[in-house]
Amino acid sequence: MIKTVKGCKDIYGEDIEIFRSVEKVLRDSARSYGFKEIVPPTLEYSELFQRSVGEDTDIVEKEMYTFTDKGGRSVTLRPEMTASVARAYVEHHFETLPSPVKLFYIGPCFRYEKPQKGRYREFYQFGVEVLNDESPYLDAEVIALAYEIGEKLHLKDLKVKINSIGCKKCRPHYKEVLREALKPHYEELCDDCKRRFYTNPLRILDCKRESKALKDSLPKITDYLCDECRAHFEKVQKYLSEFGIPFETDNTLVRGLDYYTKTVFEVVSNDLGAQNAVLGGGRYDYLIEEIGGRHTPGLGFAIGMERLIEVVKSQKSAQNEKEELVYIAYGKGLEKEAYLTAKRLRSSGFTVIVDSKGGAFGKQLARSRKRGAHFTVVIGEDEFKKGTVQLKDMEKQTQTEVKKEELTEAIAQISESKNGAKESNAPRK
């Protein structure tokens, strides 16, 4: 038997229902903030990620799916999508569009890493990018959007963590200060961090293998910000407070990609335990310059869909609004009537399955229950002659004879009464 490639998965059943429901929340939320969708290609030239993500990152060093194509060119399955959006911005001259340019995306990415729950080698990523505007107001607005997405998905105990990692003027000095502070602890560091000590010591703050006690003892980058970065960070915090977004500063928070500057952030749920990050992002004012464009400030965030699905499932947050499933059982020779009844119901927004096997009504009802139908419409010979149907509420196990032209309204009324009862029984906040 041929199985899926390690680290890849089929999305089906409950997961695909949640995926589509979450996807709708993400798309609608982004559009409500004025974002337009972009769909970059899955395959890019490897140089794009080497120049943007950074040669010293785990992604470039260990995780990219890179190969030489038949033309001898090095190409890579995208490990993330911000760099692709930046490339599109330059290639298609988006700088001619009104600023800020606000784009969102959703699609598959690929990283060769150890598969675990909620993390795969092929994964879907949703994200937003704001380009060509350096206002701290936009930092706060993007963070607010991220936080609101968590609220709309009913995620519990949400909070924002923020930090500033400075810019090209102030970060080099902090790196030297950090190296001096780390020297006495060099032998304690993991092998990756010993290398990062020389190449990019900020990444040590991001390493999960280093102790919290060590990280907390190190100098805080916010104490070494230049005047511009400090003023920017203070304004971001001011706006978040005014917006009513709960946040805290975390001086060990850095992003794993080299292109970030100034504001970095995560939205976390303290209900999730150690792996509590729901999404992450930040500002990247040098990225487009790195890939050959002019100076163009930018910021954004990304969400791993598989991780988000696991979070939603674990918190039992009524993620997907399930459609009312209607099953149609019918007597011999009444296939046409069953089809026409299904057509009327579908045109009113119901999901309808017509029994394809026929036979005894008992067997058809058993198949309806196995499908998890909310209602079963029974069309027998007697009902057909009278212009009626039997409407069976599968949850309450009640049955009512209904005129066929009143069927849609009857199902809608029963559904509304059920939903109203659930709401009235819900605990008050």
Q: Would you state the pLDDT for residue 420?
A: 58
Q: Based on the fold, state whether residues 293 and 331 are members of the same structural domain.
A: no
Q: Would you state the pLDDT for residue 426?
A: 42
Q: Would you state the pLDDT for residue 317?
A: 45
In the structure, what pLDDT confidence band is assigned to residue 425 with cuts at 50, 70 and 90? very low
Taking 50 as the threshold, does the pLDDT of residue 429 lie above it?
no
Q: Would you state the pLDDT for residue 270?
A: 66
Q: Would you state the pLDDT for residue 320?
A: 41
Exposure string over 264-282, b if 16+ CB within 10 A, otherwise e: bbbbbbeebeeebbbbbbb
Report the mean per-residue pLDDT for the chain: 88
pLDDT digits (tens, 9 = 90+) for 260-276: 899 999 998 765 555 67
CA distance linking residue 308 with residue 230, whole number of Å: 33
Q: Would you state the pLDDT for residue 383?
A: 92
Between 395 and 255, name the one with better pLDDT.
395
Q: Based on the fold, state whether residues 270 and 335 are members of the same structural domain.
A: no
Per mean pLDDT, which range of 58-72, 88-102, 271-285, 317-331 is the poorest?
317-331
Q: Within a domain: residue 410?
A: yes
Q: Within a domain: residue 199?
A: no
Taking 80 as the threshold, does the pLDDT of residue 58 lie above it?
no
CA distance linking residue 231 with residue 146, whole number of Å: 23
Q: Based on the fold, state whether residues 264 and 387 are members of the same structural domain.
A: no
Q: Based on the fold, state whether residues 108 and 250 are members of the same structural domain.
A: yes
Q: Would you state the pLDDT for residue 321?
A: 45
Q: Based on the fold, state whether residues 17 and 73 are members of the same structural domain.
A: yes
Per the structure, how many domains does the chain have?
2
Taking 80 as the threshold, does the pLDDT of residue 323 lie above it?
no
Q: Would you state the pLDDT for residue 419?
A: 62
pLDDT digits (tens, 9 = 90+) for 122-165: 999 999 999 999 999 999 999 999 999 999 998 888 889 999 99
For 186, other C-beta atoms within 10 Å of its C-beta total 11
Q: Based on the fold, state whether residues 25 and 110 are members of the same structural domain.
A: yes
pLDDT digits (tens, 9 = 90+) for 287-306: 999 888 999 999 999 999 98
Nearby residues of 68 by Cβ (< 8 Å), 6 or more positions away: 74, 75
- Where residue 420 sits, what CATH number does that domain have? 3.40.50.800
Domain of 43, in residue numbers: 13-170+225-314
Q: Based on the fold, state whether residues 235 and 101 are members of the same structural domain.
A: yes
pLDDT digits (tens, 9 = 90+) for 155-204: 888 889 999 999 989 999 999 999 999 999 999 899 989 988 988 898 89
Q: Based on the fold, state whether residues 382 and 307 are members of the same structural domain.
A: no
Among 291, 314, 337, give the residue marking a domain's end. Answer: 314
Nearby residues of 130 by Cβ (< 8 Å), 6 or more positions away: 100, 101, 102, 138, 142, 298, 299, 300
Using CA atoms, how far residue 79 sits from 248, 279, 390, in Å, is 29, 16, 54
Taking 80 as the threshold, does the pLDDT of residue 418 lie above it?
no
Q: Based on the fold, state whether residues 277 and 138 are members of the same structural domain.
A: yes
